[in-house]
Amino acid sequence: MAYRTLTTLLHSEAQDTATLDAAIDLTRRLGAHLTVVLAGVNTVDPGLYYGGINTAMISSALNDADEATRNLSTALAKRMAAEDIPWDDASVVASTAGIGQALVERSRYSDLTVLPRPYGTGRSLIDVAVAEAALLDSAAPVLILPPDMDSVAPPKRVLLPWDEGAPALAAARAAIPFLAQAEEVVICVIDPSSYGPERSDPGGSLAMFLNRHGAKVRISVLPSVGERISDVILTEAKAQQADMIVMGGYGHSRTRQYILGGTTRRMLENSHVPLFMAH
């Protein structure tokens, strides 16, 4: 297994291009192909289409979105002229809420989608919608990069939080090309269950599975001692000097995570190392 097609997205000329730079760098390192989705944002709320909105406003918004994609395409062509990687672009026009699904339609046959951290300074609802759609609906793993990261080397030390869940296993399986080359993979088991199938050997079955793929694995069992799971993960990542975290995303519903907060959302808000996530 290898990553042969990477996908990323641009939705504004003013958008920070560090993630694009990082995607180009990673594509080159992997000998892969890069697809850049260029999204023009239709600023007219679709609900207004049925509320008697002036058709001239709709037409103007669509024309503006089309022009935005053309401008992005021109800027991208200039940016890629000096690059030595195979690449293509795909232009889409969609509402703010619909850009995520537009990306999914073009990334579902990708091996890895590379996106910026969706929360923080300079980010918008578009970034949140895109990250959630890519993670939940594309069936491909997503690499979320912290702010200003413009290059991505294959990780040397990886932290893999493990809760025996399907999303965590999906992430571990999808990350095997990275895990097999890392100097060390630390499986982090927080508050292991006393009643689960792995109660006598937390993380042991996953370690054996990854070891057979060539990964050099160590298991770390930790108590949360009342801390948020996300805080335990971030503290352990720092302690282990991890340069990537591989984890499942949205083990609970997005609604619950949005209203109450959750590990996935807090990691997307706070991680300062790349997050390799799958659902």
Residue ranges of the chain with per-residue pLDDT less than 70: 44-58, 61, 251-261
Dig out the tokens for 192 from the structure. Answer: 């292991």
Contact 171, 248 (CB under 8 A): yes
Question: Is the CATH code 3.40.50.620 the one for domain 157-278?
Answer: yes
Asked whether this chain's domains 5-145 and 157-278 adopt the same fold, the reply is: yes
Residue 58 has φ and ψ, to the nearest 5°, of -60, -45
Provide the b/e sequence for 150-168 (b: ≥16 CB within 10 Å).
Answer: eebeebebbbbbbbbeebb
pLDDT digits (tens, 9 = 90+) for 16-45: 899 999 999 999 999 999 999 999 988 765
β-partners of residue 90 are 37
Residue 139 pLDDT = 84
Residue 256 pLDDT = 43
Domain boundaries defined on the chain: 5-145, 157-278
Residue 120 pLDDT = 86
Q: Alpha-carbon distance 271 to 273, whole Å?
A: 6
Residue 259 pLDDT = 38
Question: Which CATH homologous superfamily contains domain 5-145?
Answer: HUPs (3.40.50.620)
Q: What is the pTM of this model?
A: 0.91
Query: What string of DSSP letters covers 2-14?
Result: ---EEEEEE--TT
- At residue 230's C-alpha, the angle toward residues 226 and 235, to 5°, is 85
